[in-house]
A and B are shown apart, each in its own frame.
Chain A
Amino acid sequence: MARSGTAEATRQTAAVSQKIPVTLTVNGTRVELVIAPWTTLLDALRDRLDLTGTKKGCDHGQCGACTVLVDGRRINSCLTLAVMKQGAEVTTVEGLAANGALHPLQQAFIDHDAFQCGYCTSGQICSAAGLIAEGKARTADEIRELMSGNICRCGAYPNIVAAIQQAMERS
């Protein structure tokens, strides 16, 4: 009803075949892609760069499973067009560990058993890395509020908060 007819959609698709070159630095490595402008950063990471640690949950910015850091800030990669991030530095969960050692948040999530199925975990950990960098959360209430963009359907929230508190104390 809201859509124009299929014929028009096809015509538009035919007219819009432009692919655009994009350069990103992903986990410290410079990558060059040529992509359609409607490719989300999430799809570019997963389908083009095989970085499948970043998860597609709702694909609408409601669950936080796709959280990555862009230029150090946590964002929803599902609502981000990759072409708009030309020149940006992207950090995914694959880029957090350094020199073979787990990131303090990764270790804390293990120490506190802060997951069950694990599907939200990479988004939780990237989001928590952004939270710690922001420096706005001190109390458990503040951690809960500023992590509310990351849903855990298994309900591991108390252990997630404890894990983040441990990592905060050690950072």
Chain B
Amino acid sequence: MTPFHYSRASDVADAISQIAADPAAKFIAGGTNLIDLMKYDVEHPARLIDISRLPLKNIEETLDGGLLIGALVPNSDLAYHPLIEHRYPLLASAILAGASQQLRNMASTGGNLVQRTRCFYFYDAVTPCNKRQPGSGCSAISGINRINAILGTSEACIATHPSDMCVALAALEAKVHVAGPAGARAIAFSDFHRLPGDTPERDTNLASDEIITAIEIPPKGFSANYSYLKIRDRLSYAFALISVAAALELEGDTIKEARLALGGVAHKPWRDPAAEAALRGQHVGESAFAKAADLLLQGARGYGHNSFKIGLARRAILRTLSQAARGTPQSQSVKKIR
């Protein structure tokens, strides 16, 4: 690890003024990704500003019936919170599908959003990587790209966003509350993460002097018909090759509303309004699900080692939608897929 200065933020305003004063500084909360990246010499901040003691650890109901989740709520506390378990089980399930319990005990809600890709080449500081060192090239495009993206890629970068939690937050249409020197603002979840384009070094639209203060989720939790299915190389404690968050609102056999988001396939959780629109008004069943899957995967492109993901994603979408429609969500402890 490269040596660094360390300071604690006394409140949110102090955190903002400290980061605005030092462009080479970074915030640290849970530290589960940042410390790891510093050990691999991928990140070398000159200063760490410890925000872990800021009072952003509450989960409150909003006036419209949604929830406001403090940015420093640990992932495990969020997954096991009674309001999340009962009203937003899709979110609880996605969180418990990711990492290990030790890491979930450490990792913060806000930090989960800004974790970096696990692309092998991003982590290997001696290989070219446009995300780590802009302009150096992408080693993954012609390299070992089994875990890389099939949607929304660019010639500069085929990295994926590694979070499970974010796939559920995308499906639930969360909002990210941030604060900076210019004041506070809320960012729609779909606008928070970016596609790589020709600036893959930027993962999100969070400004470098802004801090995430809370995540807001709207009232609709789809608690009756949802499922989060994660496909990976081992049954637990591995990043997704493909993951699917599906949420349906049913009236009898007819789909009134649908949400569908993919993880492990793109630089951000992958949604397409056209795929969800195609489900609305349809009867549940394979023909409607297949049409939605084809729309969501339109334009998918494999790079060799990861080409299997296109067919796998299609089958995973069909399976997850049928789990959601049946009201039999995927268990995150019994791994048999039904």
- For the complex, what is the distance from the CA of A48 to the CA of B100, rounded to whole Å? 28
Q: What 20 additional pairs, Cβ within 8 angstroms, besides A12-B3, A38-B3?
A: A1-B127, A20-B6, A37-B5, A38-B38, A74-B102, A75-B102, A75-B105, A76-B32, A80-B35, A81-B6, A83-B6, A83-B50, A84-B50, A127-B101, A130-B102, A131-B101, A141-B334, A145-B332, A149-B99, A149-B237
Asked whether any CB of chain B lies closer than 8 Å to the CB of A111, the reply is no
Interface centre among B76, B99, B102, B127 (most CB of A within 10 A): B102
| A14: nearest chain-B partner, CB-CB | B3
| A72: nearest chain-B partner, CB-CB | B105
Closest beta carbon of chain B to A60's beta carbon, Å? 5
| B104: nearest chain-A partner, CB-CB | A149
Q: Interface 1/0s, chain A 1-19, versus B by CB < 8 A?
A: 1111000010011001010
Contact of B101 among A9, A36, A134 (CB under 8 A): A134
| B36: nearest chain-A partner, CB-CB | A60
Contact A1 B102 (CB under 8 A): no
List B contacts of A150 (CB < 8 A).
Answer: 100
Contact B4 A16 (CB under 8 A): yes
Contact A2 B237 (CB under 8 A): no
Asked whether any CB of chain A lies closer than 8 Å to the CB of B80, the reply is yes
Contact A76 B103 (CB under 8 A): yes
Stretch from B40-48, B62-70, B257-265, B304-312 contacting the other chain: B40-48
List B contacts of A40 (CB < 8 A).
Answer: 35
**B residues bordering A, Cβ < 8 Å?**
1-6, 28, 31-32, 35-36, 38-42, 44, 46, 48, 50, 52, 76, 80, 99-103, 105-106, 125-128, 132-133, 136, 236-237, 332-334
Contact A59 B39 (CB under 8 A): yes
- For the complex, what is the distance from the CA of A75 to the CA of B2, rounded to whole Å? 23
Contact A73 B5 (CB under 8 A): no
Task: Tell me the count of chain A residues lying within 8 A, CB to CB, of chain B.
Answer: 43
Asked whether any CB of chain B lies closer than 8 Å to the CB of A139, the reply is yes
List B contacts of A80 (CB < 8 A).
Answer: 31, 35, 106
Contact B28 A81 (CB under 8 A): yes
List B contacts of A83 (CB < 8 A).
Answer: 6, 50
Contact of A37 among B48, B52, B237 (CB under 8 A): B48
Contact A76 B106 (CB under 8 A): yes
List A contacts of B127 (CB < 8 A).
Answer: 1
Contact B3 A13 (CB under 8 A): yes
**Contact residues of A between 64 and 120, Cβ < 8 Å to B:** 64, 67, 73-76, 79-81, 83-84
List B contacts of A134 (CB < 8 A).
Answer: 76, 101
Contact B133 A1 (CB under 8 A): yes
Q: Can you report 28 A-B residue pairs in the complex whose CB atoms are below 8 A from each other?
A: A1-B127, A1-B136, A2-B132, A2-B133, A3-B41, A12-B46, A18-B6, A37-B5, A37-B6, A38-B3, A74-B101, A74-B105, A81-B28, A81-B31, A127-B102, A130-B105, A131-B101, A134-B101, A136-B80, A139-B333, A141-B333, A141-B334, A144-B333, A145-B332, A146-B101, A147-B101, A148-B100, A149-B103
